[in-house]
Structure 1
Amino acid sequence: MSAVAERRTAVFAALRALLLEQPWGEVTLEAVARDAGVSRQTLYNAFGSRYGLAQAYTVHLADALCALIAETLTAHPDDPRTGLEEGLRLFLETAAEDPLIDRVRAGDAHHDLVRIVTTDAGPLLVRVAGQLEAAARTAWPQADPALLPPLARTLARLALSYVSVPPEYDDSPAVIASGLSMLLTPR
């Protein structure tokens, strides 16, 4: 891992740890820099602002969640429904454990955080859909290539909707994932 990647990983870990202890409004770049072992200027150079840091963290988290889904799709190449169900379940469980997502879901988020997954979510949706489409193409080479882009875009939008507006009912991630996978994949 390069020094830049290691520094970003340390910054995101520091941000996550701080968010477990306090709301976004109380998290300062100075505290993130201190806990990550970098200078505040390094954070400004890399992210530009607190909002830029939150956006980068969100992209980092989205990439990690897409990688989880890709792994489950690859693990079930002959059973797309199971692969998708497991991927969605892991996504929902992992997302619910993240403190930034938890703040948004609880309605305890600064408007900057909410913007990232609502009005400013276009680039994130495109990125996530692209990764999901690539994962589906790799896992399911026999699938109709015309069906994969709409499937990936639908999954990206559903995933983001569960981040920004949690379900108003108490279904478990496994129940939600099972229902979605049944709707989205043939048997």
Structure 2
Amino acid sequence: MSTAAERRTAVFAALRALLLERPWGDVTLEAVARDAGVSRQTLYNAFGSRYGLAQAYTVHLADALCALIAETLAAHADDPRTGLEEGLRLFLETAAEDPLIDRVRAGDAHHDLVRIVTTDAGPLLVRVAERLEAAARAAWPHREPASLPQLARTLARLALSYVTMPPEYDDSPAAIAAGLSEVLAPG
């Protein structure tokens, strides 16, 4: 592999594939390195530890989810409620398919993984809120700019709560997204 970005992509893909096969406790850096086609030392240099790898993967996943939401908001720039509803639906569906999130939700996650999205989640929340605010500003340039930071922070916290604990009711992601967007969409 030639670039650092390509190596990171391969590492995250390998980690995801391994998590589909086995619990987090059984995933080793050696297995991730082997499956990604990199050396174990490369992983240590890039991430420092399994916890560092999990943090980086979480940020990577959050960035990908934020990009999906940004695309959806932009595609529905003339209809903020629909944009928000579709973005939330995509987020909920995509998050539910991720094996790391599934491990956290199932209680099959090492306490380090749970910390990333609970007690150590501050930097992740800030990053997600900044990305969502930028997406909202780009999609809705004529909206009241003072309200967008609070909307973005609220969405970031809601998203993280749905990652750590799925809804206690049986509503579909589409129904949940519709309800949330009705309450949160800027008018």
TM category, shorter: over 0.9
What's the offset of the Cα at 1:136?
0.2
Distance 1:33 1:140, change over 3 A: same
C-alpha displacement at 1:108, in angstroms?
1.2
Q: Where has structure 1 moved over 2 Å in runs of 4 or more? A: none
- Provide the C-alpha distance between the structure 1 equivalents of 2:185 and 2:122, rounded to a whole number of angstroms: 25
* Residue 54 of structure 1: aligned partner: 54
In structure 1, the residue matched to 2:112 is 112
Secondary structure at the counterpart of residue 67 of structure 2: helix
Question: What is the TM-score normalised by the length of structure 2?
Answer: 0.98
Structure 2 distance, partners of 1:143, 1:133, is 12
Q: For residues 14-59 of structure 1, give each alpha carbon's deviation from its aligned partner in whole angstroms, at most 9, with x where no partner exists.
A: 0000000000000000000000000000000000000000000000
Q: Which residue of the partner structure matches residue 80 of structure 2? A: 80
What corresponds to 1:174 in structure 2? 174
Q: Give the Cα–Cα distance (whole angstroms) in 2 for the partners of residues 87 and 111 of structure 1.
A: 30
- In terms of mean alpha carbon deviation, does 104-113 or 129-138 score higher? 104-113
Equivalents in 2 of 1:28, 1:107: separation in Å?
19
Counterpart AA for 2:175: V
Shift of residue 167, structure 1, vs aligned partner: 1.2
Q: Secondary structure at the match of 1:118?
A: coil
TM-score when normalising by structure 1: 0.98
Shift of 1:186: 4.5
**1:43 matches 2:68:** no
* Segment drifting more, 163-172 vs 23-32: 163-172
The amino acid across from 1:180 in the alignment is L
Q: 1:143: Cα distance to partner?
A: 0.6
TM-aligned CA deviation for residue 107 of structure 1 = 1.3
What's the offset of the Cα at 1:106? 1.1
> What is the 5 A alignment of 1:148-187?
148-186=148-186
Equivalent position of 2:16 in the other structure: 16
**How many residues matched?**
187
How far off its partner does 1:166 sit? 1.3
- Report the counterpart of residue 101 of structure 1 in structure 2: 101
The percentage of counterpart residues that share the same residue type is: 88
Task: Give the 3-state SS of the residue equivalent to 2:52 in structure 1.
Answer: helix
**Matched residue, 2:3:** 3
Secondary structure (helix, strand or coil) at the match of 2:78 reads coil
Distance 1:167 1:64 in 2: 22
Alignment partners' CA distance in 2, 1:98 and 1:185: 26
Distance in 2 (CA, whole Å) between partners of 1:185 and 1:49 is: 40
Aligned counterparts of 2:186 and 2:117: Cα–Cα separation in 1: 30
Secondary structure, counterpart of 1:147 in structure 2? helix
Q: Distance in 1 between matches of 2:94 and 2:112?
A: 22
Q: Structure 1 stretches of 5 or more lacking a match?
A: none
Distance (whole Å) between structure 2 residues aligned to residue 29 and residue 166 of structure 1? 29
- Residue 77 of structure 2 aligns to a residue in which SS? coil
